[in-house]
Structure 1
Amino acid sequence: MGTPRPSGHGSGDGPSVPAATVAALQDCAEHGAARLTDTHYAILFDVEVTGDGQVDKARVRESMIGDREIVSCMEDALHGMSLPGVVTPLRSSGTVYGGGGSVSPEGRTPLGHPAAAAAVVAVNLVPIVLVAAGVTIVVAVTVHVAEEAAEAIRRWPKKVEEKCQPPFQECLENPWQPKRNRETYGNYKDCGGCLAECRNKDGIWPEERCPRHWQY
């Protein structure tokens, strides 16, 4: 297996593994590095995410590490991590899964057992370089968004707009802040800002900043 070219965690080359997960992977390396006999290793993982960016499957694709304890520890570290930074741009791009988005051949391969949903898009995270006890381990992670999750994301804009538009229109029709809010937010509601916040929060209208008429 060829060693992935590390670009460094958090280098801005693409989505990154969360810092807490990197720390957990580092712990895996530190607890097992003394058992390894070489100085350089690489391991490639495939993970599958749900529509909200949560990893619910993590599997080894290729590995130079023969130590099952280290590999299992790393699988556990990746399982359950949150990757909203992967899903959110796909939601807002308007080119989700077959509409012009980037789809890799690996992304069309079922992950894990045959019952797993077929993934339809794949995103490579920035490789992680772990160093422990004189051993360097490069961890590469490819995120797969499964068909079910993709369909949920396809439905997201319409569903969210249906929730956000009514209070937005009401805000435009009644733009004055109630007296209790004026010291904090000024005399007028920021209807456009409240609409943006509603969209970013999956349809939850910011009632405090832009209260509805029955909340006066």
Structure 2
Amino acid sequence: MGLVATRLTASLGLTLGLGFVFLPLGCGSGPLGNPRPRAHGSGDGPSVPAATVAALSACAEHGAARLTDTHYAIMFDVDVRADGRVDKAKVRESMIDDREIVSCMEDALRGMSLPGVVTPLRAAGPVYGGSVSPEGRTPLGHPAAAVAGAAVNLIPIVLVAAGVTIVVAVTAHVVEEAVEAIEKWPKEVEDKCYPRLYECLNNTSQPWWNRRRFGDRKECNACFRECLKDSGEWPMYKCPPPGYFPN
């Protein structure tokens, strides 16, 4: 397995962190030594949302039978906007030459939410003209404060389908527009909206009484933007928190 990790690293120019994914197969692996898909686990940096991991797994499962090798790796770059939303995903390097699988994974990454990448911007003094000290705010997600154009490596994902192992590495890039937008948001508005966003992302299913109007899933990113626009008022009608019922 060490040879596989070395080959993947050499082929893609991956970081040491990506190669490390293959090291703990003996104690952290699934049945028959297959590594479990990872998105939340030990390691530095934000992780890919569970729903996105599930979509990536579906891409692998649908196309693994067409692949001729047993181990692959693919690297993506994604652009993160001010609300944490990803609206652009593209392949940087790939060992997979199956366009259907690659396109499916791009679609899976596009539209996911990565608030843990953007939130540290609030702790960066230059974003606020140096008027707020980093000690006054506790960043969530990645421990290092992000800046426009910064690259944040997410925790790599290991997918296993039909005997094929695929490592998916994602690097998130904070777009310049994110900083410009965040500069316009007062801290007190952010402090009201961000907790609601995290709460929503952890419970994206609409309650039964709201599904006829808004469907089965909450649009957390849209509700977050509405909250910022409305000075911190969370749209309960569209993204109700658990236990909430309108009067």
Residues 1:45 and 2:76 are matched in the alignment: yes
Deviations 1:146-172 (A, max 9, x none): 11112112333xx344x69xxxxxxxx
Aligned length: 157
Question: Secondary structure, in 3 states, of the residue corresponding to 1:140?
Answer: strand
Going from structure 1 to structure 2, the CA distance change for 1:134 and 1:96 (only over 3 Å counts) comes to farther
Question: Secondary structure, in 3 states, of the residue corresponding to 2:48?
Answer: coil
Corresponding residue number in structure 1 for 2:65: 34
Going from structure 1 to structure 2, the CA distance change for 1:31 and 1:198 (only over 3 Å counts) comes to closer
Displacement of 1:83 in angstroms is 0.9
Displacement of 1:27 in angstroms is 0.3
Cα distance in structure 2, aligned partners of 1:34 and 1:140: 21
Q: Which runs of 5+ in 2 are unaligned?
A: 1-11, 22-37, 131-143, 197-227, 235-247
Question: Secondary structure, in 3 states, of the residue corresponding to 1:30?
Answer: helix
Deviations 1:44-87 (A, max 9, x none): 00000110000010000000000000000000000001111211
Q: Which runs of 5+ in 1 are unaligned?
A: 104-118, 165-195, 207-216
Residues 1:131 and 2:160 are matched in the alignment: yes
Residues 1:11 and 2:41 are matched in the alignment: yes
Cα distance in structure 2, aligned partners of 1:94 and 1:11: 30
Corresponding residue number in structure 1 for 2:207: none
Cα distance in structure 2, aligned partners of 1:6 and 1:23: 22
| Higher RCO, Cα 8 Å, sep 6+ | 1
- Structure of greater Rg: 1
Residue in structure 1 matching 2:87, options 26, 39, 56:
56
Structure with the largest fraction of strand: 1
Indicate the percent of aligned positions where both proteins have the same amino acid: 68
Q: TM-score, normalised by structure 1?
A: 0.64
After the TM superposition, list the runs of 4 or more consecutive aligned residues in structure 1 that deviate by more than 6 angstroms: none
Cα distance in structure 2, aligned partners of 1:102 and 1:91: 9
Q: How does 1:89-100 map to 2 (within 5 A)?
A: 89-94=120-125
Corresponding residue number in structure 1 for 2:102: 71
Cα distance in structure 2, aligned partners of 1:146 and 1:72: 22
Contact conserved, 2:118 with 2:146, CA < 8 A, in 1?
A: no
Displacement of 1:89 in angstroms is 2.4
Question: Secondary structure, in 3 states, of the residue corresponding to 1:37?
Answer: coil
